[in-house]
């Protein structure tokens, strides 16, 4: 066996892998992250790792829906303006406080909206139907049925109810419900921390002025944005030179912070030895030639037990690879159930020519029109220009084997953002 026994090359022409197969291989090798208890603000957007059960009724006490008087309904049954009932005022129930005392027969208490209904009382007479006669007496003009204007205990949730089922993503309503029910640290699948690195001797940061032949690093930021959109936590490790030691050093110095790695560049035929050699003994990364355009060379495997995505260098290829492979895998790590973008069938407004034998991800501007969806290409075929992605909101999938999808043809489009964004 050679020194690079852990690296597999699927690079021969007959080794072309379909996009679906490549995605399957990736997905079969990533798992949900182990659940953690997180404070609600950190748990936002994460998936509940278990059913969260109510440990109390919600609300926890019956309260008044009106300002008025807490009464025993039986004391005021039949009361009308012409036949009022007089009750003795024995106190006041204010919001946020346990009522001092109870309401006995012939008695009542002042009560504010939201204040607890005192023991003994079972209905509220609104202030409009009461005439207060001094401090101790009130004349009530209405005889409400039991329960009138009372918000019962447990009206919202009963003890033992499922507040949030396992597998559900925590959005704003779930956070509110969990907070209200006394679950400040739900068990969730955490956001993966993803270490991002850009390889290339030609790269400089966007704050630098490139010398002739140098290129500003686009991919770190493209990947950062995509990861944030997924709900992951990107950690930018910066630019790494095309050299085994630098790559190893960077990867292993960030390893402690990583649940996964995404690198760009260095996976095309001439360069992959650098990436391969960097993983020697500490990782297992496969290189595939995927039947897709753009984005053909792809590396995927594990380094120190953590998923490693080795994307191509061209920013458009990076974007498509993120959509095709990284996003579903990261969502799976987050415990998300729906891993794929929504798709619509759209009518092409212009011809799209496809590469023979490869699935083409054509950048399109998708719009909803009266007759359905339309898709207009934002760049010529094969144009590997990042501006074509910036102008698009969808990726039209032109199947392998379709050399030309003419204007008017219906194609499937993955929507990666809404057209209003
Ligand atoms: P590679 O796969 O490393 O050969 O890169 C393919 C092409 O993408 C080359 O033209 C690179 O200069 C370009 N490229 C690689 N990495 C980046 C990056 N981080 N930002 C912008 N362009 C890049
Ligand atoms: Mg390179």
Give bridge partners of residue 412 from the DSSP assignment. Answer: 345, 397
Which pLDDT score, from 0 to 100, does residue 402 have? 87
pLDDT, residue 280, reads 65
Instruction: Render pLDDT for 197-246 as a digit per residue (tens, 0 to 9).
Output: 999 999 999 999 999 999 999 999 999 999 999 999 999 999 999 988 99
Candidates 402, 341, 345; CA nearest to 374 is 345
Distance CA 126, CA 275 (A): 76
**Assigned token pair, 75:** 């004391």
The ligand 1 atom nearest the CA atom of 270: 4
Other CB atoms within 10 Å distance of the CB of residue 233: 14
**DSSP letter string over 100-147?**
SS---TTEEEEE-TTPBPPTT--EEEEGGGEEEETTTEEEE---PPTT
pLDDT at 274: 76
Q: Looking at the CA of 197, which ligand is closest?
A: 1
Classified as helix, coil or strand, 280 is coil
What pLDDT is stored for residue 2 in this prediction? 33
For residue 15, CA distances in Å to 32, 99, 151, 297, 392 come to 29, 77, 68, 12, 32
CA dist list (Å): 187 to 37, 42, 160, 201, 388: 4, 11, 17, 43, 41
Q: Tokens for 181?
A: 């029910």
Predicted local distance difference test score (pLDDT) of residue 14: 53
pLDDT of residue 6: 41
> Residue 309: which of 293, 332, 341, 340 has the closest Cα?
332
Nearest Cα to Cα of residue 124 among 60, 72, 58? 72
348's tokens: 């092409």
Q: Would you state the pLDDT for residue 307? A: 97
For ligand 1, atom 8, name the residue with the nearest CA: 314
The dihedral sign for the CA sequence 375, 397, 289, 283:
positive
Looking at residue 10, its pLDDT comes to 47
Cα(358) to ligand 2 centroid in Å equals 23
Q: State pLDDT tens for residues 1-28.
A: 333 334 444 444 457 899 999 999 999 9
- In degrees rounded to 5, what are phi and psi of residue 289? -105, 110
What would the two tokens of residue 354 be? 């496809």
What's the pTM value of the predicted model, to 2 decimals?
A: 0.90
Residues in the chain, pLDDT under 50: 1-13
Q: Whose CA is nearest to atom 16 of ligand 1?
A: 313
Q: How far apart are CA 246 and CA 37, in angstroms?
A: 36
Neighbours of ion ligand 2 (CB under 5 A): 200, 265, 313
Residue of 222, 265, 275 to mutate, ligand 1, most atoms within 8 A of C-beta: 265
Burial of 403 (0-12, 13-18, 19+ CB in 10 A): exposed
CA of 266 to the centre of ligand 2 (A): 4
What's the CA-to-centroid distance between 315 and ligand 1, angstroms? 7
Q: Which residues have CB under 6 Å of ligand 1?
A: 198, 200, 202-203, 215, 217-219, 264-266, 268, 271, 312-315
């Amino acid at each position: 066996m050679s020194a690079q026994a852990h690296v597999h090359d699927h690079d021969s022409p007959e080794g072309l892998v379909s996009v679906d197969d490549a995605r399957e291989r990736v997905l079969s090798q990533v798992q949900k992250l182990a659940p953690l208890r997180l404070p609600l603000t950190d748990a936002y957007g994460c998936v509940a790792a278990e059913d969260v059960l109510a440990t109390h009724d919600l609300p926890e006490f019956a309260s008044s829906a009106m300002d008025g008087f807490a009464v025993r309904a039986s004391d005021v049954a039949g009361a009308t303006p012409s036949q009022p009932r007089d009750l003795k005022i024995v106190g006041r129930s204010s919001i946020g406080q346990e009522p001092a005392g109870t309401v006995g027969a012939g008695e009542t208490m002042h009560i504010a909206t939201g204040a607890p209904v005192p023991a003994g009382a079972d209905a509220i007479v609104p202030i409009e139907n009461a005439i207060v006669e001094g401090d101790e007496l009130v004349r009530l003009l209405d005889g409400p049925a039991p329960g009138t204007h009372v918000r019962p205990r447990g009206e919202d949730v009963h003890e033992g109810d499922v507040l949030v089922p396992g597998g559900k993503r925590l959005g704003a309503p779930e956070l509110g419900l969990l907070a209200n029910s006394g679950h400040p640290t739900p068990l969730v699948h955490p956001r993966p921390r993803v270490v991002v690195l850009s390889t290339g001797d030609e790269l400089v940061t966007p704050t630098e002025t490139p010398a002739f032949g140098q290129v500003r690093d686009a991919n770190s930021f493209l990947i950062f944005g995509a990861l944030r959109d997924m709900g992951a936590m990107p950690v930018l490790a910066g630019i790494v030179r095309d050299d085994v030691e630098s790559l190893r050093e960077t990867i292993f110095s960030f390893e402690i912070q990583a649940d996964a790695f995404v690198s760009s560049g260095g996976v095309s035929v001439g360069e992959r030895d650098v990436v391969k050699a960097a993983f020697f003994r500490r990782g297992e990364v496969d290189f595939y030639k995927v039947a897709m355009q753009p984005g053909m060379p792809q590396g995927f495997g594990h380094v120190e037990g953590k998923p490693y995505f080795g994307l191509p260098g061209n920013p458009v290829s990076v974007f498509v690879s993120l959509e095709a492979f990284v996003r579903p895998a990261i969502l799976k790590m987050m415990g998300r159930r729906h891993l794929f973008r929504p798709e619509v069938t759209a009518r092409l407004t212009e011809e799209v020519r496809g590469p023979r034998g490869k699935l083409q991800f054509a950048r399109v501007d998708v719009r909803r029109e009266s007759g359905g969806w339309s898709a207009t290409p934002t760049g010529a075929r094969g144009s590997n220009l990042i501006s074509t992605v910036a102008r698009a909101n969808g990726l039209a999938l032109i199947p392998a084997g379709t050399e030309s999808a003419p204007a008017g043809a219906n194609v499937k489009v993955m929507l990666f953002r809404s057209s209003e964004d």
